[in-house]
Structure 1
Amino acid sequence: MPQMDLPLEELRRYLPDREEPDDFDAFWAETLAEARTHDRPPEFHPYDACLSEVDVFDVRFPGFGGDPVAGWLLVPASATGPLPCVVGFLGYGGGRGFPYEWLTWPAAGYVHLLMDTRGQGGSLQPGATGDPYGSSGPSSPGMVTRGIQDPADYYYRRVFTDAVRAVDAARAHPSVDPARIIVSGGSQGGGIALAAAALADDVGAALVNQPSLCHYRRALHVVEGNAYREIWTYLRTHREAVEPVFRTLSYFDGVNFAARATAPALFSAGLMDDICPPSTVFAAYNHYAGEKDIRLWPYNRHEGGGYYQDLEQLRFLRSLPLTAS
């Protein structure tokens, strides 16, 4: 497959204007304030995963509207004091799966809280969290267009709120140093991580692999795959809804969250990615307000760096004051 987006020298300079509603900050402040009125503590139930070197907990914490959100918490069994914690978010369609799928971070000396994504987990790893909200309007199959004509009803309002509450939940566990929280994810998870980096309090670092949910207009003009295809299909059918849809999406655009995030961040992009085009990744990266770096994989599509990028992330975190060693 040939390179399908802008040349690299243009990507490095690519800084599009942000589409941002005037009440962006107020919208999120009110959303999170309401979520935190549901202040019951997170639950961490010991879980026998047949792992001798990692203590596993089946997690439930209150997310948007106080809805119970599932997750896994993995703690190195040898831990003697509070450790930094990587709070992880999943790609589109994935659920929390099984604990033994998520051993990299505890093997490296970090606590790992993996958040289940509400309403997903039916096409990749299995999930355990429902989404009990109906939509006030029609949607394409999948999750990305649910409630898409009203920011208050939009599906990702719930997901991004869940992500902030996942950070809150991680901080509540005695094995976690609340001052050393890292948010991490790829694709959809990368977009969620950008939102969490901007909205959660005092995040220590962000690991953002080929994020989706960024620079929507550009994405829909360049690719038609995966989640963006659902939006494209919706707009193809609801021709009158273009501007209401993009107004809603402006409250959830990773570019706007990037402009508010200040934690040190490591991004990545596959330069042949036909799911999350490189220009949308660079739009978020170039607007990112904090210290940042990016790893590029010239011949890779949406898989990006894969295990190579895992090693880059481990090295990146080791270079920061919140290192686990």
Structure 2
Amino acid sequence: MRDYRPERPEPEDFDDFWSRTLDEAKAFDVAAGFRRHDLPLTGVDVHDATFAGWGGHPVNAWFITPAGAGERLPCVVEYVGYNTGRGFPHHHLVWPAAGYAVLVVDARGQGGRSFDSPGGTADPGGGTFAEAPGMMTRGILDPEHYYYRRVFTDAVRAVDAAAAHPAVDPERIVVSGGSQGGAIAQAVAGLRGDVRAALIDVPFLSHFRRAVEITGADPYREIVRFLSAQRGMEERVFRTLSYFDGLNFAARGRVPALYSVALMDDVCPPSTVFAAYNHWAGPKEIVVYPWNNHEGGSGAQVERQLHYLRELFAAG
């Protein structure tokens, strides 16, 4: 798998599609707002943040800094896993404990089924065609309307929202996430080269064709169920997915990236993770967890990331 570098299903207008998408988003002021959230946590300052994402739609996030920070800080923009939201502020104290700011971004339309990680951001731009349950087939017959066009655009705008806060050093913003969050971080780092680094754990939404053919697990299985009911739609579905495939974003990634992969992972098969990693065009490292499933390295990987960023920022 370390040599697995499959051909990428890249449409000819991939760059034009994303350039136009992000230009459309820029028509709306990012309008980042930060409202103090009162919690008896003495070591951190917590703000309930909002900003304008795709279509100007409001996106919610937590913005947390070390208490009383008096200088511009590195900031980790963190994206969440599938079917979860930003959760509660006390879930996100590792980065402030290390001296960083963190912006934890909702995934629009998600978090309604997770009792411990609720979300609060709507998806006003949903498609109109019939969908299988979940997000994977929302608007899947047209890249203009596909769900992840909105999510990835929200995520790009989140970096602008973080940079707008006076406590953040805009030259030291890192994107981070696991599974769906890893896919989002990978996409953002491929779409904009001004982030400092990307922390990409067991990324979802990469090498779609292989993933749906070899795993029986959700969320990829949502696409299989859709195709089993909507016979004859295969070509349109995979054309749409080619605009959102992590392989194509990875090929545009130039910033330092720390990946992780779990070899027992039946949700995001390890070959699909290595396919993205092997296409990453910038400096990169990957941590392999041979006996783990989709939980990957969990806390062990967080420790690895803390050391990685300390060395990265020390190097300038």
Task: Report the TM-score, using the length of structure 2 for normalisation.
Answer: 0.97
1:84 and 2:84 matched: no
Q: Which residue of 1 aligns with 2:254?
A: 262
Give SS of 2:75's match. strand
1:54-107 CA-partner distances (Å, limit 9, x unpaired): 001100100000000000000111422001100000000010111000000000
Q: What secondary structure does 2:312 align onto?
A: coil
Q: CA RMSD in A?
A: 1.2
Give the superposition deviation at 1:134: 3.4
SS of 2:313 mapped into structure 1: coil
Structure 2 runs not aligned, ≥5 long: none
What does the per-residue CA deviation read over 1:247-295, in whole Å, with 9 as the maximum and x for residues that have no partner?
Answer: 0000000110000011100000110000000000000000001100000
1:163 has 2:152 as partner: no
Match of 1:111 in 2: 101
Q: CA deviation at 1:312?
A: 0.6
Q: Secondary structure at the match of 1:12?
A: coil
Spell out structure 1 runs of 4+ moving beyond 2 A.
321-324
Against the structure 1 CA distance between its residues 202 and 40, is the aligned structure 2 distance closer, same or farther, given a 3 Å change threshold?
closer
Following TM superposition, by how much is the alpha carbon of 1:323 offset from its aligned partner in structure 2, in angstroms?
7.7
Matched, 1:315 2:307: yes
2-structure distance, mates of 1:308, 1:140:
35
Stretch moving more, 33-42 or 16-25: 33-42
What is the alpha-carbon distance in structure 1 between the residues aligned to residue 30 and residue 65 of structure 2?
22
Percent identity, aligned pairs only? 58
Equivalent of 1:177, from 157, 163, 169?
Answer: 169
**In 1, are the aligned partners of 2:206 and 2:272 still within 8 Å (CA)?**
yes
Distance (whole Å) between structure 1 residues aligned to residue 220 and residue 191 of structure 2 = 24
Contact 2:177 2:185 in 1 (8 A): yes
Task: Provide the rounded CA distance (Å) in 1 between the counterparts of 2:143 and 2:213.
Answer: 22
Alignment of 1:127-138 (within 5 A): 127-138=119-130
Q: Point out where structure 1 has 5 or more consecutive residues left out of the alignment.
A: 1-10
What count of residue pairs does the alignment treat as equivalent? 314
**Any idea what SS the aligned residue of 1:71 has?**
strand
AA aligned to 1:287 is H
Alignment of 1:219-298 (within 5 A): 219-298=211-290
Contact 1:84/1:323 (8 A) holds in 2: no
Aligned match for 2:191, one of 195, 199, 224: 199
Map of 2:209 onto structure 1: 217
Letter in 1 for 2:136: V
Q: Is the 1:84–1:322 contact (alpha carbons within 8 Å) kept by the matching residues of 2?
A: no
TM-superposed deviation, 1:322 = 6.2
Q: Does 1:151 align with 2:135?
A: no
Q: Which residue pairs with 1:19 in the alignment?
A: 9
Q: Deviations over 1:161-215 (max 9, x none)?
A: 0000000000000000000110000000000001110113401000000000000
Task: Out of 160-169 and 42-51, give the one that drifted further.
Answer: 42-51
2:41 alignment counterpart: 51
